[in-house]
Structures are given as structure tokens and as C-alpha cells.
């Protein structure tokens, strides 16, 4: 992992054009690597991105006995013949992954300890759903100073679980614990992000019995006694698709992204069209073409198949270029607009609000959270110095700098490197004026 602090220097004003290959999804690949801990046989994963999130996940698995090989670029072979220790004391507050290792480690060793979580500062991000569900399944969990310590009471057993909100991590956690549990587990109110279904399909190929009812938002898992090794492919990263698409749309350019499925991005594609961008669906991918003029719109983030919360930050940059008032109503995280301060310094007109838009109330209604952004456009953005505070906001800052007049310097780019493999090199190939410098 990189230790030196690096900065991007970006000169704005050039449009991005060309074909860009998106990498595999970090939010699927990291979970699939954790899923490999459920078997003592080797698992091969293809299309694994070379982002720092994957390095963190690898470090976690290696610390419990996994052996990694990299037969080819973007291919990982992981084997955990034996779990040498179920106690993970490293990686505290680095990302959201360690809590997902609980189920696999408990199945292998009967006890487990994982560090407290980190990840982007975008809200409180509690893990109460994870803990309650695992407790229901027969696990005793104790919060220690810097970790969670868990022990199987008698056995891990199937349970009827209902989430008050479709949490991605909690859904994954229960699936990973339930595939080897005794009996049937039902998850009502499950999250159904395509990245979760990617892990589900890997688990099925390992011998897991999982049924997904998307209409009912329910997942039913029939525990089996063991799982085998497998070969699985990580799906393309939807966040990368959105990032490159918006970078082209915001700079007056045109990009073609091969290998992308339209159905994973429906709500994003609709909003691009609403705004006045062009979306051309081809047999082998999607082309995005900038419109001459953009029109303001209303966006409400929500779990899949809704407009994903990770897309609102880059999309907001487009809205600064749109005529009239736009609104982004963030209903997944209570505090995901911190990054707008930097955009206001660049010349954007953004007012944050505490109250839900009329007739569209969410669970953050009248709770004092700035979860609504009102954007007034079009405004000219000017280059500036920016310190990145989180991953998706970091990508939004890059796009803002690319579409701004003048030069910007973006520091804190380790947050961006956690989620994007060599983003600067790929943007450069599309014509961006971006340099990575070490200070
Ligand atoms: N929540 C609870 N209790 C819980 C779990 C979640 O209240 O026990 C709440 C959270 O506080 C949040 C909401 O439910 O308000 C959704 O959280 P979720 O559990 O779905 O998020 P996550 O699993 O921690 C993953 C992605 C995020 C992405 C969200 C939503 C990974 C590693 N992270 O986080 O991705 O925003 O799902 O789609 O998969 C990113 O990649 O930049 C990123 C933040």
C-alpha cells in the first residue's frame, strides 16, 4: 500500500473523449474474497481491481492464514486450507470489511475477533443490524475497546431476520453466516445490490443454497454442511461507470464504456436523460454523450434499484452546470454532503437543508441532519486546492476540477486510491490533464 502522500494536479477545461475500460467492482470483490474463507479449497477470482480496498482485504485474510497467488493481472487465487487464528487485530478503522469475516471465522473456529470498522465519514454507520442478526443466529458478540469478539453459543442456526432498512453490509453478513448454518435463514427487507448478487452467485457455485426473491426483497438460505472451491468473475464496477460517464458529460465530451449491463444502472441512465445528456445503448456497452445544455432535476438516493447514494457526489457536479434549481435528497446516509463546502469555494451555488422535500419524507425527517442539497445553476467552477475527505466525494472533486477553469490540486488521494485503480492514468487516456505528484 502507498505510504507517501500524493496529490493530483489537474488543469480543467479539456473534454474527455474515448473508450474506457472499467475495472471489477471493489464492493463485490472484497466480499467475494471474504466468502472464500468459508471453504478450505482454493477459490479463483477474475476481474479483481487493483485498488487499496482489495489490499486491505487481502491483508486481513493473510492474517488468518489465507495464501494468495496472482496468476494473472486482475486474477486472484486464494486458499485458506487452515484458519491459523480467528483473531484479527490489525486493520482497525481501515474499511468496512472485517465485520463480514465474523461468519466465516466462526464457522471455521467457533470464535472470532475483528477490529472496529472505518470507511468513509458519511454518517454514523452503526452495525446494530449485523450484531442483532448474528445474535439471533446463535452467536454471542461482545464489543471490546477496539474490536468485536464473537463466540458460537451452541451452533450457528438459521433464523428469520427482518431488517428495518435494506443494509448492504448486514445482508452480506447474514448470507455469509447462513450458508453453513443449521437450517433455514430468511432475510426480509434484504438489500439486493447487484454486487451482493455477484457474491451470491459465487456462493452458489461453491454449493450454497440461496434463493432470492427480488419482488419481495427476501433472501432464503438453506444451510449446507460444507462448501467447495470455485472460480468466479467479479462484475464491472458501477461506480466507475458512473464516474467516467459524468466526467465526460461534465466536460462536454463523449465516452464509450464496454462490457456494462444497462439493467444495473437504470436509475442513473434515467437521470442522465432527464438532465439532457445522451445515452446510447450498444450491444457491447454504453456510450455517454454530453448535451449542449442541461436542465435541473430532482434526485433521491435509495437502495437498489434506486439511485445509488455513491452516485450523488459526482452527479452533483453535473447539476452545478444545469439550468435552474436541482435537489438531491440523500435518504441512505444522514451526513453525506460534507464535500459540498469545497464545491462552494469553487463557485458552485449549493444550499444544504435539514428538511425533506415536500411529499418526499424519509427516515431523516426533522432530525436535524443536512441531508438535502439544493443546487442552483449553471455556475462556472474555478480551480482551487482541495483536501479529499472520502472516496466518492474525492471522485466528485476530480470531476469538478476537470470541468473547472484553471488549475486545482487535490490532496488526500489515498481515499480515491482505495476505490479506483489508477484513476489518473485512465482519465489521462481520455484526454484529462491530470498529474500525480508526491510531496
Ligand atoms: N445501517 C444501520 N445499521 C446497520 C447497518 C446499516 O443503521 O447495522 C444504516 C447505515 O447507517 C446507512 C444505511 O443503513 O445509513 C445503509 O448502510 P449499508 O449497511 O447499506 O452500507 P455499507 O454496507 O456499510 C455499502 C458500501 C457503500 C455504499 C453502501 C450503500 C461497501 C464496502 N460499502 O456500505 O459504499 O454506499 O453499501 O449502498 O460495500 C463506497 O464504496 O464509497 C461506499 C461508501
Pocket probe for ligand 1: among 125, 141, 414, the residue whose CB has the most ligand atoms within 8 Å is 125
Q: Which atom of ligand 1 is nearest to the CA of 169?
A: 23
Which protein residue's CA is at the shortest distance from atom 6 of ligand 1?
167
What residue spans of 222-380 are helical by DSSP H? 238-250, 266-275, 312-319, 340-345
Q: What angle do CA 217, 222, 227 make, to 5 degrees?
A: 115
Q: Which of 439, 280, 401, 416 is nearest to 11 (CA)?
A: 401
Is beta strand 349-353 parallel, antiparallel or unpaired with respect to 322-329?
unpaired
Digit-coded pLDDT (tens) for 313-353: 999 999 999 999 999 999 999 999 999 999 999 999 999 99
In this structure, what C-alpha cell is assigned to residue 398? 476530480
What residue spans of 70-115 are helical by DSSP H? 102-109
- pLDDT higher than threshold 90 for residue 359: no
Q: Which atom of ligand 1 is nearest to the CA of 128?
A: 8
- pLDDT higher than threshold 60 for residue 1: no
Region 43-56 average pLDDT: 93
In this structure, what C-alpha cell is assigned to residue 379? 455556475
- pLDDT higher than threshold 90 for residue 11: yes
Residue 392 Cβ < 6 Å to ligand 1: yes
Among 29-38, 88-97, 250-259, 390-399, name the one with the lowest average pLDDT. 88-97
- Contact present, 149 and 142 (Cβ < 8 Å): yes
- pLDDT higher than threshold 60 for residue 49: yes
Q: How far is the CA of 372 from the centre of ligand 1 (A)?
A: 18
Region 183-204 average pLDDT: 98
Region 212-235 average pLDDT: 98
- pLDDT higher than threshold 60 for residue 2: no
Region 386-413 average pLDDT: 95
Query: Against a cut of 0.85, is the pTM above it?
Result: yes
Digit-coded pLDDT (tens) for 96-132: 899 999 999 999 999 999 998 777 777 778 899 999 9
Residue indicated by cell numbers 436523460: 273
Q: Which atom of ligand 1 is nearest to the CA of 130?
A: 8
As a whole number, the mean pLDDT across the chain is 95
Residue 93: the pLDDT is: 67
Peptide bond into 305 cis (omega under 30): yes
Distance of CA 171 to the CA centre of its chain: 14
Portion of the chain with pLDDT greater than 90, in percent: 89
In this structure, what C-alpha cell is assigned to residue 387? 483536501
Region 158-165 average pLDDT: 98
- Contact present, 234 and 45 (Cβ < 8 Å): yes
- pLDDT higher than threshold 70 for residue 91: no
Residue 429: the pLDDT is: 97
CA distances from 428 to 16, 20, 313, 326, 439 (A): 9, 11, 21, 30, 21
CA distance 42 to 392: 33
Residue 100: the pLDDT is: 97
User: Residue 306's beta-bridge partner residues?
Assistant: none
Portion of the chain with pLDDT greater than 70, in percent: 98
Digit-coded pLDDT (tens) for 346-358: 999 999 999 999 8
CA distance 315 to 273: 13
Tell me how crowded residue 352 is: count the other CB atoms within 10 A of its CB: 15
CA distance 176 to 162: 16
Residue 90: the pLDDT is: 76
CA distance 371 to 122: 11
Cα maximum dimension of the chain: 64
Tell me how crowded residue 14 is: count the other CB atoms within 10 A of its CB: 17
Residue 343 Cβ < 6 Å to ligand 1: no
Residue 92: the pLDDT is: 61
Residue 332 Cβ < 6 Å to ligand 1: yes
Pocket probe for ligand 1: among 171, 196, 332, the residue whose CB has the most ligand atoms within 8 Å is 332
Residue indicated by cell numbers 471493489: 26
Backbone angles phi, psi at 108, to 5 degrees: -80, -35
- Contact present, 327 and 362 (Cβ < 8 Å): no
pLDDT class of 3 with cuts at 50, 70, 90: low
Digit-coded pLDDT (tens) for 415-439: 999 889 999 999 999 999 999 999 7
Tell me how crowded residue 400 is: count the other CB atoms within 10 A of its CB: 30
DSSP element (H, E) containing 134: helix 128-136
Residue 439: the pLDDT is: 75
Tell me if residue 43 is catalytic.
no
Q: Terminal CA-to-CA distance of the chain, rounded, Å?
A: 16
Tell me how crowded residue 178 is: count the other CB atoms within 10 A of its CB: 30
Amino acid at each position: 500500500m502507498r505510504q507517501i502522500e500524493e496529490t493530483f494536479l489537474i488543469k480543467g477545461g479539456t473534454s474527455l473523449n474515448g473508450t474506457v475500460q472499467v475495472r471489477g467492482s471493489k464492493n463485490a470483490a472484497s466480499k467475494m474474497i471474504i466468502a472464500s474463507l468459508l471453504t478450505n479449497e482454493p477459490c479463483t477470482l477474475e476481474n479483481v481491481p487493483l485498488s487499496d480496498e482489495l489490499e486491505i482485504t487481502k491483508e486481513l485474510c493473510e492474517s488468518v492464514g489465507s495464501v494468495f497467488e496472482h496468476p494473472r493481472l486482475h486474477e486472484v487465487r486464494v486458499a485458506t486450507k487452515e484458519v491459523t487464528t480467528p483473531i484479527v487485530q490489525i486493520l482497525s478503522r481501515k474499511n468496512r470489511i472485517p465485520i463480514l469475516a465474523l461468519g466465516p471465522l466462526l464457522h471455521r473456529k467457533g470464535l472470532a475477533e475483528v477490529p472496529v470498522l472505518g470507511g468513509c465519514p458519511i454518517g454514523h454507520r452503526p452495525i446494530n443490524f449485523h450484531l442483532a442478526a448474528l445474535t439471533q443466529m446463535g452467536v454471542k458478540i461482545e464489543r471490546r475497546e477496539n474490536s468485536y469478539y464473537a463466540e458460537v453459543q451452541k451452533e450457528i442456526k438459521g433464523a428469520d431476520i427482518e431488517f428495518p432498512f435494506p443494509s448492504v453490509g448486514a445482508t452480506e453478513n447474514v448470507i455469509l453466516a447462513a450458508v453453513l448454518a443449521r437450517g433455514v435463514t430468511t432475510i426480509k427487507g434484504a438489500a439486493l445490490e447487484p454486487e451482493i448478487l455477484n457474491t451470491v452467485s459465487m456462493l452458489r457455485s461453491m454449493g450454497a443454497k440461496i434463493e432470492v426473491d427480488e419482488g419481495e426483497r427476501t433472501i432464503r438460505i438453506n444451510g449446507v454442511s460444507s462448501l467447495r472451491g470455485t472460480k468466479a468473475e467479479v462484475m464491472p464496477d458501477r461506480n466507475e461507470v458512473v464516474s467516467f460517464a459524468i466526467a465526460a458529460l461534465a466536460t462536454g465530451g463523449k465516452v464509450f464504456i464496454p462490457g456494462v449491463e444497462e439493467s444495473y444502472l437504470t436509475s442513473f441512465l434515467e437521470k442522465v436523460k432527464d438532465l439532457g445528456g445522451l445515452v446510447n445503448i450498444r450491444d457491447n456497452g454504453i456510450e455517454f454523450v454530453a448535451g449542449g445544455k442541461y436542465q435541473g432535476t430532482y434526485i433521491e438516493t435509495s437502495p437498489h434499484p434506486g439511485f445509488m447514494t455513491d452516485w450523488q457526489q459526482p452527479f452533483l457536479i453535473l447539476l452545478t452546470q444545469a439550468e435552474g434549481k436541482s435537489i438531491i435528497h440523500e435518504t441512505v446516509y444522514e451526513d453525506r454532503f460534507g464535500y459540498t463546502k469545497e464545491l462552494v469555494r469553487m463557485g458552485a451555488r449549493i444550499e444544504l437543508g435539514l428538511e425533506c422535500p415536500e411529499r418526499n419524507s424519509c427516515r431523516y425527517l426533522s432530525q436535524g441532519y443536512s441531508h438535502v442539497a439544493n443546487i442552483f445553476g449553471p455556475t462556472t467552477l474555478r480551480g482551487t486546492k482541495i483536501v479529499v475527505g472520502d472516496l466518492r466525494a474525492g471522485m466528485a472533486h476530480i470531476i469538478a476540477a476537470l470541468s473547472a477553469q484553471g488549475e486545482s490540486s487535490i490532496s488526500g488521494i489515498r481515499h480515491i486510491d482505495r476505490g479506483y485503480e489508477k484513476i489518473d492514468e485512465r482519465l489521462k487516456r481520455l484526454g484529462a490533464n491530470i498529474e500525480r505528484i508526491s510531496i
